Chains A and B, each alone.
Chain A
Amino acid sequence: MKPFDIIIVGGGGAGLYAAMEAMKTNPSLNIAVLSKVYPNRSHTSAAQGGANAALANTAKDDSVELHIFDTIKGSDYLADQDAAEVLCTEAPKIIRELDNMGTPWSRLDDKTIAQRPFGGAGRPRCCYCADKTGHTILQTLYEQCLKKGVVFFNEYLALNLSVKGSRSKGLIAMDIKTGKIEAFTARTVIFATGGYAKMYWNRSSNALGNSGDGQAIAYRAGIPLKDMEFVQFHPTGLRKSGLLVTEGARGEGGYLVNSLGERFMSRYAPEKMELGPRDLVSRSIETEILQGRGFDSPAGKYVHLDLTHLGADLIRQRLPQIREMSMYFEGVDPIEEPIPVRPTAHYSMGGIDTDNQGRTVMEGVYAAGECACVSVHGANRLGGNSLLDILVFGRIAGHTAAEEARSFEPGNITDAELKEHAEEIRSYMQPSGHYERYGALREELGHTLGTNVGIYREASLLRKGIEEIAALRERFKKVRVFDSSDVFNTNLLQVLELRNMLDLSETVAAGAYAREESRGSHTRTDFPTRDDGKWHKHTMATLVDGKLELGEKPVTMGRYELQERTY
């Protein structure tokens, strides 16, 4: 294969926007998108709520300024203020651009794009398409890419970067349909592989493939990761699958009830009760469970989200989706029984460290979307800001790579490198010395992260978590892939994804252990307050000689001074 000018890894919102923008910037470039699932299957499709932009259609007094402020405050002042400014300034343009390309935004009476209120935003500025916003954005982008003739390598799994000195020569990937390891020599590579919250396994709302592959590949290649300890939890995930029950259920008057039959939110937020802010509700549920007032089941401990008192009519009319979810995935009809829920890992704020143009420290390597950390979300992402993030910074990264691609010489990926990868994969299939079951390792990783690196963190728990992760990584060396076929070996995929999650989980736990303060999504019971003197800075995790090294990076300030974050 002839060398590519740009290889984009990932066909979610970030990857597709990057592809379109790169083609627009320089139509003569040889560009391809490589994705482990068909692009329209990417996790962007799961986003229901919407994307923020100060269009001022609904609230006439909204402004980009207000959006910037909400973003920075929401981030608990860990976002880089220049990056947040780019995000919010570009927002109206990008939402209109999507409209111009065919995204079916819901409309107001005056025929303009509709906007609704969303957590942490001072004005209703969340643009939406019913409850399928991410899905329709992704469809639009995929359709436009088909129109423009973007080259896709669908069902290819990126394995590693091929690196020479401080430069990338391209990508090594596996064709899932044939099992063949292939070289993608490229002047530039853009990672757009999405988040890593699936490491919390069935305590996560994410798709199975959100295993942080891009972050892990970058990390193994020596590129630093930033703020990995910040993982956002959503209060109400279904017990068995972690899938999200949206805020609507509580908005319509649902109760949270413990095993003693108490509406326990009266203890934590006597006025707002179930409608307190996300992080507070998550912590309250977790406390109930930790103090033994949860329900127990083989799938783990949980509390009840009770809608039965709302009556069949209201549930059928106003909450049909939530009822459907609960029946599909838990087999529980909320008209008759309460829904079993517990907090669920939802979004990863941390990721590959990039500048505002999408560049990483390695020449020719870029990143965008949930897998990158620019950082616009800091310690806590606002709802509706991450769809925006993937679009804005996806486009920027595509533009930068297109401008810079020709300044890099293409490298040469050797057959020896490919052979090495093929041999490693084959070794997982050898019976001798390989007996660890993937399912058990993955389950245990989810469990240790959930209990030791979860919502509440403290030194002793984190130390335990770090030890357990190290032990799991040791055991992984003996993991066995039981399916030995080349064609669509999904068992092998699971194992390779698990390896990435294991590599990254160490950075999450180590970052959480080091950060002796509470900020945004990171709550240390032993350091319950924000400590700006010591910790107003980013955590950097780099792999040096096979070992994790933690460093730091200052936060870029701007117009907004540090303030206490209260709502």
Chain B
Amino acid sequence: MTVSSEQHIEGKRDVTFRVFRLNPQVDSKPYFDDYTIPVERGITVLRALNYIKENIDASVSYRVFCQAGICGSCGMRINGISKLACTTQVWDELPKCREAGIIKIEPLRNLPLLKDLIVDMDPLVGKMKHYRNWVESSMPEPEMGKKEFLVSEEEFSRYDKATDCILCASCVSECSILRANKEYVSPAVLLKSYRMNVDTRDSLHDVRLAELVQDHGVWDCTHCYRCQETCVKNIPIMEAIHGIREDAIECRGLKDTAGAKHAEAFMSDIEKKGKLVEATLPFRTNGVAWTVKNLLPMAVKMILKRRTPPPPPLVKSSKGMKQFREEFREMTEHVKDDHKTHNK
């Protein structure tokens, strides 16, 4: 930060923006253009792009609307991380440049590229439709408008934070599974699905859940936490993902998928004994990686909730067991941190 405080005093300097370019009408492959402009302290990346567009190259294309961090239009990758251009100060990015003084600007990943920094949002909207990301009111339409639902503070708080989502797709761009599988449900859609499922006014819970446990659904997530770390509104997306999984296990009749079946045995073990028994650990059949990504976070959460100390897995240690222990410790820290930051 010393660099930036010196610059604070200086107040103005030249900055190079290395911008990803592709116009599908003429370019067969993408390239980068460098624009070096004078920037004063207090300028956002978006304003810098506006300056470039107005004064140097009018063809640089990006989406922008509110300029206030609320419409979700201006998601792009700045120095490699997906975020909103309109809420990002150039000065804050300077210390993060890989090459000094050069800020790299690229489009979001995991959505089809249309031009320069513009990606197609339709696939995301398609998924919102597929997973029924709306409240299916338990009130019949002719009755609507006559009376309010009664919603307690506690019920409201279950979905309050999730409704902050502005569909900027930054989390989508950073999701590790989406890179490999474009059909994956997407973090933002999981978040919205969860928000609908915990709403007491909704009546579509089971249908939505049944879809979420299918292929490309909630069991595909690797728990890499990238989405949550990226979210421009600091929404605890992982809470939603854990929530859907716990829900899927608790819900009778939805257990028929492989994921849910193993999970149930594993979880009930913890529930009954407060500890893990190697004999029932599903990694024998599913491998360590699967167990870690799908079950551990939930198990840790349950244990933390109950305040029982994390139980040491019993029985003699094998190679798998050792790895499992390590992962277990790491995940406990992650989930604990999460609790600290996001618990009301």
Whole-angstrom distance between the alpha carbons of A133 and B66 in the complex? 16
Cβ–Cβ < 8 Å partners of A55 in chain B: 148
Q: Which B-chain residue is minimally distant from A481 (CB atoms)?
A: B58
CB distance from B192 to the nearest CB of A (A): 8
Interface-facing stretch out of A306-314, A377-385, A482-490:
A482-490
Name the residue on A nearest B90 (C-beta).
Answer: A331
- Size bin of chain B's contact surface: 35 or more
B68-A329 in contact (CB<8A):
yes
Whether B31 is near chain A, meaning CB under 8 Å from some CB there, is no
* The residue from B65, B116, B139, B166 contacting A208, defined by CB atoms under 8 A apart: B65
Considering the complex, give the chain B residue whose CB is closest to the CB of A177: B114
Chain A residues, CB < 8 A from B24: 487
- CB pair B68 A243 closer than 8 Å: yes
Write out, one digit per residue, whether chain A residues 141-165 have a CB within 8 A of any chain B CB (1) or not (0).
0011011000000100000000000
B2 at the interface (CB under 8 A from A): no
Query: In the bound complex, do residue A485 and residue B67 qualify as a contact, i.e. CB atoms below 8 Å apart?
Result: no
Query: Is A63 engaged at the interface, CB distance under 8 Å to the other chain?
Result: no
Q: Contacts A96-B146, A102-B201, A208-B64: A488 and B114 contacting too (C-beta < 8 A)?
A: yes
The reply on A109 being an interface residue by CB < 8 A is yes
Candidates B62, B129, B156, B167; contact of A40 at CB < 8 Å: B167
**Is B177 an interface position by the 8 A CB rule?**
no
Instruction: Contact check, B137 vs A101: say whether CB atoms are below 8 A apart.
Output: yes
Chain A interface: which size bin? 35 or more
Give the docked Cα–Cα distance between A146 and B192 (Å): 14
Flag if A147 contacts B68 (CB, 8 Å). no
| CB-contacts of B122-159 with A (<8 A) | 122, 125, 128-129, 132-137, 139, 141, 143-153, 156, 159
Q: Which of A100, A139, A209, A488 contacts B137 (CB 8 A)?
A: A100
Interface assignment of B341: CB less than 8 Å from any CB of chain A: no
Contact A129 B25 (CB under 8 A): no
B154 to chain A, nearest CB (A): 10
Whether A485 contacts B71 by the Cβ 8 Å rule is no
Query: How far is B125's CA from A517's CA once the two chains are assembled, in angstroms?
Result: 50
Which of B38-46, B221-229, B240-248 lies at the interface? B38-46
List the A residue with the shortest CB-CB distance to B92.
Answer: A331
Contact (Cβ within 8 A) B87 A328: yes
Q: A100-B201, A104-B156, A112-B148 are known contacts. Are A243 and B67 too (CB-CB below 8 A)?
A: yes
Contact B55 A439 (CB under 8 A): yes
B49: shortest Cβ distance to chain A, in Å? 11
**8 Å CB interface, A287-343 against B:** 325, 327-332
Task: Give the nearest-CB partner of A97 in chain B.
Answer: B145
| Smallest beta-carbon distance A262→chain B, Å | 25
Complex formed: what's the CA distance from A32 to B88 in Å?
36
Interface pick from A41-49, A406-414, A533-541: A41-49
Q: Is the CB of A129 within 8 A of B134?
A: no
Looking at A136, A177, A486, A487, the one whose CB has the most chain B CB atoms below 10 A away is A487
A99 within 8 A of B: yes
B332 within 8 A of A: no
B45 to chain A, nearest CB (A): 11
Whether the pair A129, B163 counts as a contact (CB closer than 8 A) is yes
Known: A482-B58, A487-B23. A130 touches B135 (CB 8 A): no
Within 105-125 of A, Cβ neighbours of B (below 8 Å) are at 105-107, 109-113
Known: A45-B71, A207-B71, A208-B64. A146 touches B133 (CB 8 A): yes
B330 within 8 A of A: no
The reply to whether A241 and B67 form a contact with Cβ atoms under 8 Å apart is yes
- Which of A37, A104, A105, A112 is in CB contact (< 8 Å) with B65? A37
Residues of A within 8 A of B86 (CB): 328-329
- Is B328 in contact with chain A by the CB < 8 A criterion? no
**What string of 1s and 0s marks CB contacts (under 8 Å) between A85-109 and chain B?**
0000000011011011110111101
* Interface contact B25-A100, CB-CB below 8 Å: no
User: What are the residues of chain B within 8 A of A113 when measuring CB–CB?
Assistant: 148
Contact B144 A97 (CB under 8 A): yes
State whether A328 touches B89 (Cβ < 8 A): yes
A491, B71: Cβ atoms under 8 Å? no
Verify A328–B44 contact, CB threshold 8 A.
yes
User: Which residues of chain B (287-313) have a CB below 8 Å from chain A?
Assistant: none
Name 27 A/B residue pairs within 8 A (Cβ), A-sorted: A38-B167, A41-B72, A55-B148, A99-B148, A100-B145, A100-B148, A102-B134, A104-B160, A107-B151, A107-B153, A111-B151, A112-B148, A129-B163, A135-B70, A154-B122, A208-B64, A240-B47, A241-B67, A328-B86, A328-B87, A330-B42, A331-B42, A487-B115, A488-B61, A488-B115, A490-B61, A491-B58
Task: Report B's interface with A, CB cutoff 8 A.
Answer: 23-26, 41-44, 47, 53-55, 58-59, 61-73, 86-89, 91, 114-116, 118, 121-122, 125, 128-129, 132-137, 139, 141, 143-153, 156, 159-160, 163-164, 166-167, 196, 199, 201-202
The 9 closest A-B CB pairs, nearest first, are A102-B135, A331-B42, A482-B58, A143-B134, A439-B54, A111-B150, A97-B145, A483-B59, A93-B145
